[in-house]
Structure 1
Amino acid sequence: MLFHIAEAADWQRAHEAGDYRMSTRGRTLADEGFIHASRCDQVLGVAEAFYADAGPLLLLHIDPARLTAPVRDDEVAPGVVFPHIYGPLNLDAVTAVTPLLRAADGAFLLPDGLR
């Protein structure tokens, strides 16, 4: 399973457009050339690093076998590998959408079932 953090408004626009084309916060697939994704153990670090002052946020659960665009693991720093989706995210590859909630201290929390 792969994951992508999405702003709620961007996810809504994807349903209107028929596919999802945001790469990361404020950057599109056209800007970056791919859509940033992560594995479960990477989600909270990405949320803290790039979305600390954003909200409301959703966590898209992506089945890589359902993707119509290629996905590749890319080394973004020595020894640090993230999955990237090289094309639009087809909506039927998203098997679940859960809110990315915060604890009372503001720290992000993984949804139940992923903790």
Structure 2
Amino acid sequence: MSRVYKILGLDEWREALRTGRFAGSAVDLQDGYIHLSTADQAQETASRHYAGRAALVTLELEADDLGEALRWEPSRGGALFPHLYGVLDVGLVRAVRQAPLGADGVPHVDLGA
């Protein structure tokens, strides 16, 4: 099994639960896919893109459940990141964990390990 993760605002997650689907955060919609991270990438993603943001959660997904809509593509630095080309069905979410801000202002990504 290969797990991938999505960091998003608690308000976005609540809306996804209400509708049963998550189409993406603003940056996802702009880029045309939902940005995901591997376990090794998630904390750096939180540091780079979510510093100072409170009320975040981390969704845990099984990569195989996402099918062909999941593509592994290089980032600017060359590392492969998982990108979901499509809407995420909330029924595919394996776990949801809070990502509280640390004293340094960076969200702490709990991957349950």
- Global fold match (TM > 0.5): yes
Q: By percentage of residues, which structure has more helix?
A: 2
Kindly state the Cα deviation for residue 104 of structure 1 after the two structures are TM-superposed: 3.0
Q: Give 5+ residue unaligned stretches, structure 1.
A: none
Moved over 4 A (4+): none
Q: Which amino acid aligns with 2:23?
A: R
Alignment partner, residue 32 of structure 1: 31
Per chain length, whose mean CA-contact separation is higher, i.e. which structure has more relative contact order (CA < 8 Å, sep 6+)? 2
SS class of match (1:47): helix
Distance 1:113 1:32, change over 3 A: same
The answer to whether the 8 A contact 1:67-1:90 is kept is: no
Alignment partner, residue 97 of structure 1: 96
Kindly state the Cα deviation for residue 93 of structure 1 after the two structures are TM-superposed: 1.2
Distance 1:53 1:103, change over 3 A: closer
Alignment partner, residue 81 of structure 1: 80
Q: How does 1:8-87 map to 2 (within 5 A)?
A: 8-23=10-25, 26-29=26-29, 31-67=30-66, 70-87=69-86
SS class of match (1:109): coil
- Quick one: percent identity of the two aligned structures? 30
Root-mean-square deviation (Å): 1.9
Q: TM-score normalized by structure 2? A: 0.85
Q: Which amino acid aligns with 1:15?
A: L
The answer to whether the 8 A contact 2:39-2:111 is kept is: no
Q: TM-score normalized by structure 1? A: 0.84
Q: By percentage of residues, which structure has more strand?
A: 1
Name the CA distance, whole Å, in 2 between partners of 1:88 and 1:68: 12
Name the CA distance, whole Å, in 1 between partners of 2:36 and 2:111: 20
Alignment partner, residue 7 of structure 2: 5
The answer to whether the 8 A contact 2:54-2:100 is kept is: no
